[in-house]
Amino acid sequence: MTKIHILRTGSVWIKAAQVRARGTGLTRIYNGLFDRAWSPELPIFAYLIEHPEGLILVDTGETARAMNKGYYPFWHPYYHFSIRLNVRPDDEIGPQLRLAGFAPEDVKTVVLTHLHTDHAGGLAWFGKARVLVSQREFAAARGFAGRVAGYPNHRWPKDFTPELLQLPPVGANLMDASMPLTKDGTVRIIAAPGHTLGLMAVSVEIDGIMFLMAGDASYLEQTLLEGVPDGVGADPAAQLQTHARIRAMARRRPLVYLNGHDPDCPQRLQERRTMQVLE
Ligand SMILES: [Zn+2]
């Protein structure tokens, strides 16, 4: 039987206008970085899929090393002005997996929804696993341009060579741009561009319900329901289309929305509370 475990690797605070965009164009980015108001404390989630074909981890959370001065590029304004973290060593994905009864070495496959630091920060725990990233995401995150774009890639494990996926192009239906991850077809990887251009979501079928682990497709389920992009994402128009595709899917069938930072995710998962789309 397949089961999903939610794992919390500490907390993050970002600007209120990063959670929910204010303005468009450069104003949106400016507010997303320099808004005076902070978000409430937001969890940093990763998900473990306990599947008959093996353990699949979706995202790796943040590392406690990120609390150290000098971990992020000192010249990048985002880390100075726009983010605060609380990740203790025990919050890291390794200890959190053990707390849930699993060993990090037993994780067969790691899917990174995207390469932002609070999703890829725990990679060092999974030296032996198969790591999947979209080709588009990896291309955007590499090199100096990647570091400017907000990917601290100098902190990737030295031997980081993920398997790069090329998903089909996005269409009207959410599942147009998807591919199976398991042989039984119950776990799929789906392109969900917008927050980053190469963002991937993972869907799991359990008892006729689709559990959608969507990374930062939206920071909150509410902003997805309202169709509000975030304040720092790469392509807000694409993000709104991704939101619309997910809402359309939730109208057709029961869908539980799980993402990287929505504080309601543990309860939604536990209660199997499905997305309610009004309109
Ligand atoms: Zn992100």
Summarised one tens digit per residue, pLDDT across range 98-122 is: 999 999 999 999 999 999 999 999 9
Strands (E), 169-252: 178-180, 187-191, 200-206, 209-213
Q: Which amino acid is at 6?
A: I
27: confidence class by pLDDT, cuts 50, 70, 90: very high
Q: Say what the pLDDT of residue 202 is.
A: 98
Q: Which of 129, 122, 87 is nearest to 105 (CA)?
A: 129
Residue ranges of domains in the chain: 3-271
Q: Ligand 1 centre from 1 Cα, in Å?
A: 30
Question: Cα of 175 to ligand 1 centre, how many Å?
Answer: 22
Tell me the CA–centroid distance for residue 199 and ligand 1, in Å: 9
User: How far is it, in rounded angstroms, from Cα 23 to Cα 232?
Assistant: 11
Q: Cα–Cα distance between 218 and 224 in angstroms, integer?
A: 6
Determine the average pLDDT of the residues in 179-203.
98
- Is the pLDDT reported for residue 227 higher than 80? yes
Share of the chain above pLDDT 70, in %: 100
Has residue 279 got a pLDDT over 80?
Answer: no
Predicted confidence (pLDDT) per residue in 243-269, tens digit: 999 999 999 999 999 999 999 999 999
Higher-pLDDT residue of 215 and 74 is 215
pLDDT of residue 255: 98
Residue 20 CA to ligand 1 center (angstroms) comes to: 13
Tell me the mean pLDDT in the region 230-247: 97
Distance CA 10, CA 45 (A): 8
Amino acid at 50: E
The mean pLDDT of the chain is 96
- Tell me the whole-structure pTM to 2 decimals: 0.97
Which of 10-24, 41-55, 76-90, 224-238 is predicted least confidently?
76-90
Give residue 253 CA to ligand 1 midpoint distance, Å: 27
Tokens standing for residue 270: 């536990």
Q: How many CB atoms lie within 10 A of CB 101?
A: 9
pLDDT value, residue 278: 84
Question: Looking at residue 87, what is its pLDDT?
Answer: 97
Closest alpha carbon to 140 in 214, 199, 190 = 199
Ligand 1 centroid to Cα of residue 233, in Å, is 8
Question: How much distance in Å is there from the Cα of 23 to the middle of ligand 1?
Answer: 19
User: Residue 139 Cα, ligand 1 centroid: separation in angstroms?
Assistant: 16
Say which CATH topology domain 3-271 has.
Answer: Metallo-beta-lactamase; Chain A (3.60.15)
Q: How far is the CA of 219 from the centre of ligand 1 (A)?
A: 9
How confident is the model at residue 142, as a pLDDT? 95
Q: What residues are neighbours of ligand 1 (ion), with CB under 5 Å?
A: 116, 216
Task: Compute, in angstroms, the gap from residue 216 CA to the centroid of ligand 1.
Answer: 5
pLDDT at 73 over 90: no
How far, in Å, is the centroid of ligand 1 from the Cα of 218?
9
Distance CA 11, CA 61 (A): 10
CA 217 to centroid of ligand 1, rounded, Å: 8
CA 264 / ligand 1 centre spacing (Å): 18
Judged against a pLDDT cut of 90, whether residue 123 lies above it is answered with: yes
pLDDT band at 58 (very low <50, low <70, confident <90, very high): very high
pLDDT of residue 77: 85
Per-residue pLDDT of 201-221, as tens digits, reads: 999 999 999 999 999 999 999
Please report which confidence band the pLDDT of residue 79 belongs to, taking 50, 70 and 90 as the band edges. Answer: confident
Q: How far is the CA of 262 from the centre of ligand 1 (A)?
A: 13
Q: What pLDDT score was predicted for residue 10? A: 98
Q: Is the pLDDT of residue 146 over 80?
A: yes
Assign 81 a pLDDT band (cuts: 50, 70, 90).
confident
Rounded to the nearest angstrom, the distance between the alpha carbon of 206 and the centre of ligand 1 is: 26
